[in-house]
Protein backbone atom coordinates (compact mmCIF):
# COMPACT_ATOMS: atom_id res chain seq x y z
CA UNK A 1 0.00 0.00 0.00
CA UNK A 2 1.39 3.35 -1.05
CA UNK A 3 -0.14 6.69 -0.09
CA UNK A 4 -0.39 9.46 -2.66
CA UNK A 5 -0.27 12.92 -1.10
CA UNK A 6 -2.02 14.71 -3.94
CA UNK A 7 -5.13 16.58 -2.81
CA UNK A 8 -6.17 17.52 -6.34
CA UNK A 9 -6.00 13.89 -7.48
CA UNK A 10 -7.98 12.82 -4.40
CA UNK A 11 -10.63 15.48 -5.07
CA UNK A 12 -10.90 14.35 -8.69
CA UNK A 13 -11.27 10.66 -7.71
CA UNK A 14 -14.10 11.53 -5.30
CA UNK A 15 -15.89 13.68 -7.88
CA UNK A 16 -15.56 11.33 -10.88
CA UNK A 17 -16.88 8.35 -8.90
CA UNK A 18 -19.57 10.33 -7.04
CA UNK A 19 -18.22 9.02 -3.73
CA UNK A 20 -19.62 11.91 -1.72
CA UNK A 21 -23.08 10.45 -2.42
CA UNK A 22 -22.26 7.61 0.00
CA UNK A 23 -22.00 9.74 3.12
CA UNK A 24 -22.93 13.08 4.68
CA UNK A 25 -19.46 13.69 6.11
CA UNK A 26 -17.11 15.63 3.85
CA UNK A 27 -15.08 12.75 2.39
CA UNK A 28 -12.27 14.96 1.15
CA UNK A 29 -11.51 16.07 4.71
CA UNK A 30 -11.09 12.53 6.10
CA UNK A 31 -9.69 10.53 3.16
CA UNK A 32 -6.36 9.83 1.50
CA UNK A 33 -5.51 8.29 -1.87
CA UNK A 34 -3.65 4.96 -1.91
CA UNK A 35 -2.40 2.52 -4.53
CA UNK A 36 -1.93 -1.26 -4.42
CA UNK A 37 0.15 -3.49 -6.65
CA UNK A 38 -1.32 -6.53 -8.37
CA UNK A 39 -1.81 -9.45 -5.90
CA UNK A 40 -1.34 -7.16 -2.89
CA UNK A 41 -3.85 -7.64 -0.07
CA UNK A 42 -6.19 -4.82 0.86
CA UNK A 43 -7.73 -6.88 3.67
CA UNK A 44 -6.49 -10.14 5.21
CA UNK A 45 -8.81 -12.69 6.79
CA UNK A 46 -8.41 -12.77 10.55
CA UNK A 47 -7.10 -9.19 10.78
CA UNK A 48 -9.49 -6.24 11.29
CA UNK A 49 -9.13 -3.71 8.52
CA UNK A 50 -7.40 -0.46 9.38
CA UNK A 51 -9.12 1.32 6.52
CA UNK A 52 -12.40 1.72 4.74
CA UNK A 53 -11.73 1.62 1.00
CA UNK A 54 -13.50 3.10 -1.99
CA UNK A 55 -12.05 1.36 -5.04
CA UNK A 56 -11.72 3.96 -7.82
CA UNK A 57 -9.44 2.16 -10.29
CA UNK A 58 -8.72 -1.51 -10.97
CA UNK A 59 -10.30 -4.81 -9.98
CA UNK A 60 -10.17 -6.57 -6.60
CA UNK A 61 -11.31 -10.04 -5.54
CA UNK A 62 -12.95 -11.11 -2.28
CA UNK A 63 -11.84 -14.66 -1.53
CA UNK A 64 -11.48 -17.29 1.17
CA UNK A 65 -9.60 -20.57 1.55
CA UNK A 66 -11.14 -24.03 1.52
CA UNK A 67 -9.94 -26.94 3.64
CA UNK A 68 -7.38 -27.84 0.94
CA UNK A 69 -6.10 -24.23 0.76
CA UNK A 70 -7.74 -23.56 -2.61
CA UNK A 71 -8.86 -19.98 -3.21
CA UNK A 72 -12.61 -19.56 -3.58
CA UNK A 73 -13.74 -16.29 -5.13
CA UNK A 74 -16.71 -14.92 -3.22
CA UNK A 75 -17.10 -11.65 -5.08
CA UNK A 76 -15.17 -9.16 -7.16
CA UNK A 77 -15.06 -5.39 -7.03
CA UNK A 78 -14.84 -2.64 -9.61
CA UNK A 79 -14.74 1.16 -9.56
CA UNK A 80 -16.72 2.94 -6.82
CA UNK A 81 -17.12 -0.24 -4.72
CA UNK A 82 -16.89 0.09 -0.93
CA UNK A 83 -14.50 -2.44 0.65
CA UNK A 84 -14.20 -3.18 4.36
CA UNK A 85 -17.56 -1.74 5.39
CA UNK A 86 -18.21 -4.32 8.16
CA UNK A 87 -14.82 -3.76 9.77
CA UNK A 88 -15.23 -0.02 9.33
CA UNK A 89 -18.25 0.06 11.58
CA UNK A 90 -17.68 -2.61 14.22
CA UNK A 91 -13.97 -3.50 14.05
CA UNK A 92 -14.96 -7.11 13.41
CA UNK A 93 -12.51 -9.75 12.25
CA UNK A 94 -13.09 -10.49 8.55
CA UNK A 95 -13.48 -14.12 7.48
CA UNK A 96 -12.49 -13.33 3.88
CA UNK A 97 -9.55 -11.58 2.25
CA UNK A 98 -9.48 -8.95 -0.48
CA UNK A 99 -6.62 -8.68 -2.94
CA UNK A 100 -5.89 -6.56 -5.98
CA UNK A 101 -6.30 -8.53 -9.22
CA UNK A 102 -4.86 -5.59 -11.13
CA UNK A 103 -3.03 -2.47 -9.92
CA UNK A 104 -5.65 -0.63 -7.86
CA UNK A 105 -6.24 2.88 -6.58
CA UNK A 106 -8.45 3.49 -3.55
CA UNK A 107 -9.80 6.43 -1.60
CA UNK A 108 -9.08 5.36 1.99
CA UNK A 109 -10.49 6.41 5.36
CA UNK A 110 -8.40 5.70 8.46
CA UNK A 111 -10.69 3.84 10.87
CA UNK A 112 -8.73 4.56 14.02
CA UNK A 113 -9.31 8.24 13.43
CA UNK A 114 -12.76 8.28 11.83
CA UNK A 115 -14.71 5.13 12.83
CA UNK A 116 -16.97 7.07 15.22
CA UNK A 117 -17.75 9.60 12.51
CA UNK A 118 -18.77 6.82 10.14
CA UNK A 119 -20.88 5.12 12.81
CA UNK A 120 -22.87 8.33 13.19
CA UNK A 121 -23.20 9.11 9.50
CA UNK A 122 -26.79 8.14 8.61
CA UNK A 123 -26.27 8.18 4.86
CA UNK A 124 -23.23 5.94 5.17
CA UNK A 125 -25.16 3.54 7.41
CA UNK A 126 -27.98 3.36 4.87
CA UNK A 127 -25.63 2.54 2.00
CA UNK A 128 -23.76 0.02 4.15
CA UNK A 129 -27.00 -1.83 4.99
CA UNK A 130 -27.90 -1.96 1.29
CA UNK A 131 -24.43 -3.23 0.42
CA UNK A 132 -24.46 -5.93 3.09
CA UNK A 133 -27.86 -7.11 1.86
CA UNK A 134 -26.55 -7.32 -1.69
CA UNK A 135 -23.48 -9.27 -0.59
CA UNK A 136 -25.59 -11.69 1.41
CA UNK A 137 -27.55 -12.48 -1.75
CA UNK A 138 -24.29 -12.72 -3.71
CA UNK A 139 -23.08 -15.42 -1.33
CA UNK A 140 -26.26 -17.40 -1.90
CA UNK A 141 -25.89 -17.01 -5.66
CA UNK A 142 -22.25 -18.14 -5.46
CA UNK A 143 -23.18 -21.36 -3.68
CA UNK A 144 -25.76 -22.03 -6.39
CA UNK A 145 -23.52 -21.16 -9.33
CA UNK A 146 -20.65 -23.43 -8.24
CA UNK A 147 -22.84 -26.42 -9.09
CA UNK A 148 -23.33 -25.14 -12.65
CA UNK A 149 -21.13 -26.26 -15.58
CA UNK A 150 -18.18 -24.05 -16.40
CA UNK A 151 -19.72 -23.37 -19.82
CA UNK A 152 -22.78 -21.85 -18.17
CA UNK A 153 -20.81 -19.66 -15.78
CA UNK A 154 -18.40 -18.52 -18.48
CA UNK A 155 -21.17 -17.70 -20.97
CA UNK A 156 -22.93 -15.60 -18.34
CA UNK A 157 -19.67 -13.84 -17.44
CA UNK A 158 -18.86 -13.04 -21.09
CA UNK A 159 -22.32 -11.56 -21.67
CA UNK A 160 -22.02 -9.47 -18.52
CA UNK A 161 -18.60 -8.02 -19.35
CA UNK A 162 -18.54 -7.77 -23.15
CA UNK A 163 -18.55 -4.24 -24.57
CA UNK A 164 -19.65 -3.70 -28.17
CA UNK A 165 -19.61 -7.51 -28.60
CA UNK A 166 -15.94 -7.66 -27.52
CA UNK A 167 -14.90 -9.63 -24.44
CA UNK A 168 -11.50 -8.32 -23.35
CA UNK A 169 -11.40 -9.44 -19.69
CA UNK A 170 -8.04 -10.96 -18.67
CA UNK A 171 -8.51 -14.72 -18.73
CA UNK A 172 -6.40 -15.45 -15.65
CA UNK A 173 -8.60 -13.06 -13.66
CA UNK A 174 -11.71 -14.56 -15.24
CA UNK A 175 -10.59 -18.05 -14.15
CA UNK A 176 -10.04 -16.86 -10.57
CA UNK A 177 -13.46 -15.20 -10.40
CA UNK A 178 -15.23 -18.26 -11.82
CA UNK A 179 -13.35 -20.61 -9.46
CA UNK A 180 -12.02 -22.73 -12.31
CA UNK A 181 -8.49 -23.64 -13.41
CA UNK A 182 -6.91 -21.50 -16.12
CA UNK A 183 -6.41 -24.61 -18.25
CA UNK A 184 -10.08 -25.57 -17.99
CA UNK A 185 -11.10 -22.03 -18.90
CA UNK A 186 -8.90 -22.09 -22.01
CA UNK A 187 -10.44 -25.42 -23.10
CA UNK A 188 -13.90 -23.93 -22.73
CA UNK A 189 -12.95 -20.83 -24.70
CA UNK A 190 -11.55 -23.10 -27.43
CA UNK A 191 -14.85 -24.99 -27.53
CA UNK A 192 -16.72 -21.71 -27.93
CA UNK A 193 -14.45 -20.81 -30.85
CA UNK A 194 -14.93 -24.21 -32.50
CA UNK A 195 -18.71 -23.80 -32.17
CA UNK A 196 -18.34 -20.38 -33.83
CA UNK A 197 -19.79 -18.63 -30.80
CA UNK A 198 -16.62 -16.59 -30.30
CA UNK A 199 -13.77 -15.46 -32.54
CA UNK A 200 -10.30 -14.62 -31.26
CA UNK A 201 -9.36 -11.11 -32.35
CA UNK A 202 -6.79 -8.59 -31.31
CA UNK A 203 -7.65 -7.38 -27.83
CA UNK A 204 -9.96 -10.22 -26.87
CA UNK A 205 -12.82 -12.34 -28.18
CA UNK A 206 -15.58 -11.18 -30.51
CA UNK A 207 -19.08 -12.56 -29.89
CA UNK A 208 -20.29 -14.11 -33.16
CA UNK A 209 -23.46 -15.76 -31.87
CA UNK A 210 -25.01 -13.97 -28.92
CA UNK A 211 -28.18 -16.06 -29.14
CA UNK A 212 -26.25 -19.32 -28.70
CA UNK A 213 -24.15 -17.83 -25.92
CA UNK A 214 -27.26 -16.73 -24.06
CA UNK A 215 -28.83 -20.16 -24.54
CA UNK A 216 -25.93 -21.66 -22.56
CA UNK A 217 -26.89 -19.57 -19.53
CA UNK A 218 -30.42 -20.94 -19.28
pTM of the model: 0.79
CATH number of 148-216: 1.10.10.10
Averaged pLDDT for residues 38-58: 93
Q: How many CB atoms within 10 Å of residue 129?
A: 11
**pLDDT(118) > 60:** yes
Q: Do the two domains 2-146 and 148-216 of this chain adopt the same fold?
A: no
Mean pLDDT of the chain: 89
List, in sequence order, every residue forming a beta bridge with 108; answer none if it has no partner. 32, 53
In CATH, 2-146 is 2.60.120.10: yes
Domain spans in the chain, listed from the N-terminal domain onward: 2-146, 148-216
The pLDDT score that the predictor gives to residue 140 is 55
> How much helix, strand and coil, in percent to the nearest 5, is found in the chain?
45, 25, 30
**Is 197 in contact with 209 (CB distance < 8 Å)?**
yes
Rg (CA), the chain: 19
Give me the sheet containing 60-65, strands edge to edge: 41-43, 97-100, 60-65, 71-77
Q: Is 151 exposed, middle or buried (0-12, 13-18, 19+ CB in 10 A)?
A: middle
pLDDT tens profile 126-161: 999 888 877 776 655 555 666 789 999 999 999 988
Residue range 51-104, pLDDT digits in tens: 999 999 999 998 886 555 467 888 888 888 899 888 778 888 888 899 999 999
Amino acid sequence: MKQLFDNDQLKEAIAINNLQDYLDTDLLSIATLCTFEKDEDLIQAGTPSKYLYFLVEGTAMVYSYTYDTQNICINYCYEATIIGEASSLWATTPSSSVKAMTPCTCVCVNLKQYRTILQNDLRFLKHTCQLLSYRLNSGINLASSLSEPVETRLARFILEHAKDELFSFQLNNCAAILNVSYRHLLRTMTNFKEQEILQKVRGGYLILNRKELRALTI
